[in-house]
Chain A
């Protein structure tokens, strides 16, 4: 960031404001590109993972090698699809909803620290900001479902909103013990506090077992938050057709699709950043050889794989089981984690 800033001030002779705006714009373009790329890679990965879990191959033909170009071909096909807007729908909201969902994920990407000094917006309130802007997705989904004027879409949206707002609570509560330990909401500070190999990562159950529990709370809540199986109630194909995006076609559908995979990657990156030491390699020596962003992305990808594994292994839960799990199990356990982590830190003198 400093390098980029110096380039804009030094080479191009911009003043501070202009340079800041330029740096932010460049970062936004980079983030958007990475987001689109990651949606393409993850779609392919999901199909291959699903294939191998079910003893089949998944895509094999497009692009010769293991169908690597399948997702690219899909994107090109989607570009040529007609944009159908139902006559009965609320047209303004219908058109705006996919963009809002996309913005919700893109905004949260702004605060992800990819490497030391490579973060678009190094907020002191970073983690809080991420949780806040990802809530925009809920509004987008509810908007899409309501504006479609379709019963399936409405049911999907209502379920989706109920599920996502419920699971947002254990998701954020699970991060509180980490904030207590790091003493900061700034994502970069949280990562820096975990320097020194796998032993110092927040997930280490010996340093603080409550953080270890919190990681699993976070992971389960993040699956529900991204509307993926076994918690894919908002888009259950077998009962609701496709849920809130039933009426969407072409590029507008692609936005929902993009946002889903961007969110999947986002929650995995947050888990890697908050619990798994962010950009630090497991052994301190490796930090010299592996670029920080690479070890960060590898951790994120492993969590994405875990997420897919869960999706293709477990059957879907019912709505009442979903709500039961959230309100009667995860929220009490997460609250106990917060208190427990505090008591543990006091008892072992892990305070400053």
Chain B
């Protein structure tokens, strides 16, 4: 794949990332039309009570822009690792069939990926053994001190 072709500079019937751009534009246009039509049809009488934050009928207390549980960030970190793995895995999968039968190259192609996956599997096993994949582990550990009445620092409850 050469670069001008990739960017859609060379005109063909298909094979254009420019198509994606046009889809974005059309998406915006349609969303705009839908919102515009709705704006013409719907009533609009905002009041202070209507604009309050919904909290099951109670008056909302405090902002929701708070620190939330660190587990979500941990999940995001694991995800990054595996997502990068995906980026390396897909091109390998594309050439797998072509390169495997090539004498001398096939073994390299295969064992390369096995070693790569093994390294990631070790990472997964490490995270697993450390207990970072357990969603409720921290709460279970904390139940001891809490039961004896020792208070810990305030923590945002897990969603």
Residues of A at under 8 Å CB distance from B? 1-2, 5, 16-17, 20-21, 23-25, 27-29, 31-32, 78-89, 98-99, 102-103, 106-107, 109-110, 119-124, 127-129, 131, 133, 146, 148-156, 158-159, 161-162, 165-166, 168-169, 172-173, 176-177, 179-181, 183-185, 241, 246-247, 250-252, 254-255, 319-320, 323-324, 327-328, 331-332, 335, 338-339, 342, 345-346, 351-352
Distance of A82 Cα from B47 Cα, bound (Å): 12
* Chain B residues in 8 Å Cβ range of A152: 54-55
Inter-chain CA distance A98–B110, complex, in Å, is: 44
* Contact (A99, B31) CB under 8 Å given A128-B90, A158-B159: yes
Contact A338 B89 (CB under 8 A): yes
CA distance A119 to B50 in the complex (A): 45
Q: Which residues in A have their C-beta under 8 angstroms from that of B72?
A: 158, 161-162
Q: Are A110 and B19 within 8 A (Cβ)? A: yes
Q: Which chain B residue lies CB-closest to A128?
A: B90
Known: A121-B16, A183-B98. A154 touches B68 (CB 8 A): yes
Q: How far is the CB of B78 from chain A (nearest CB, A)?
A: 7
B-chain residues with CB within 8 Å of residue A332 when the two chains form the complex? 121, 124
Which positions 76-131 of chain B face chain A at CB distance < 8 Å? Answer: 76, 78-79, 82-83, 86, 89-90, 93-98, 100-101, 106, 110, 113-114, 117, 120-121, 124, 128
Closest chain A CB from B137 CB (angstroms)? 9
Closest 3 CB pairs of A and B: A155-B159, A320-B135, A28-B26
Given known A24-B16, A82-B42, A351-B100, contact A168–B93 (CB-CB < 8 A)? no
B7 at the A/B interface (Cβ < 8 Å)?
no
Please tell me if B11 contacts chain A, counting CB pairs below 8 Å.
Answer: yes
Contact of A351 among B25, B34, B37, B97 (CB under 8 A): B97
What is the number of residues of chain B that contact chain A, defined by CB distance less than 8 Å? 79
Find out whether the CB atom of A83 lies under 8 angstroms from the CB atom of B38. Answer: yes
Q: Which residues of A contact B24 (CB under 8 A)?
A: 103, 107
Q: Is the CB of A27 within 8 A of B41?
A: no
| A49 to B46 CA separation, bound complex (whole angstroms) | 38
Q: Are B93's CB and A31's CB within 8 A?
A: no
Residues of chain B contacted by A88 (CB below 8 angstroms): 52-53, 60, 63
A121 touches B14 (CB 8 A): yes
Contacts of B124 in A (CB 8 A): 327, 331-332
CB atoms of A86 and B76 under 8 A apart: no
How far apart sit A173 and B110, CA to CA, in the bound complex (Å)?
Answer: 17
Contact of B65 among A28, A146, A324 (CB under 8 A): A146
Q: How far is the CB of A167 from chain B (nearest CB, A)?
A: 10
- Residues of chain B within 8 A (CB-CB) of A335 are 117, 120-121
B interface, over-half SS: helix
Contact A83 B41 (CB under 8 A): no
Residues of B contacting A127 with CB < 8 Å? 90
Expressed in whole angstroms, the Cα–Cα distance for A25 and B106 within the complex equals: 44
* B 41-59 binary contact with A (CB < 8 Å = 1; else 0): 1111110101111111000
Nearest CB in chain B to that of A6: its residue: B13
Q: Which residues of B contact A168 (CB under 8 A)?
A: 79, 83
| Complex Cα–Cα for A156 and B100 (A) | 46
Known: A180-B97, A251-B34, A346-B100. A31 touches B55 (CB 8 A): no
Q: Which residues of B contact A246 (CB under 8 A)?
A: 54
Q: Are A250 and B16 neighbours in the complex by a CB distance under 8 Å? A: no
- CB of B38 within 8 A of CB of A32, answer no
Residues of A within 8 A of B98 (CB): 183, 352
- Is there contact, CB below 8 Å, between A20 and B18? yes
Contact B18 A185 (CB under 8 A): no
The answer on a CB contact under 8 Å between B19 and A121 is yes
Residue of B nearest to A322 (CB): B135
CA–CA, A70 and B27, complex, Å: 25
Q: Does B3 contact A (CB under 8 A)?
A: no
Given A84-B46, A88-B53, A180–B20 Cβ distance below 8 Å? no
Q: Check if B96 sits within 8 Å of A99, measured CB to CB.
A: no
Q: How far is the CB of A336 from chain B (nearest CB, A)?
A: 9
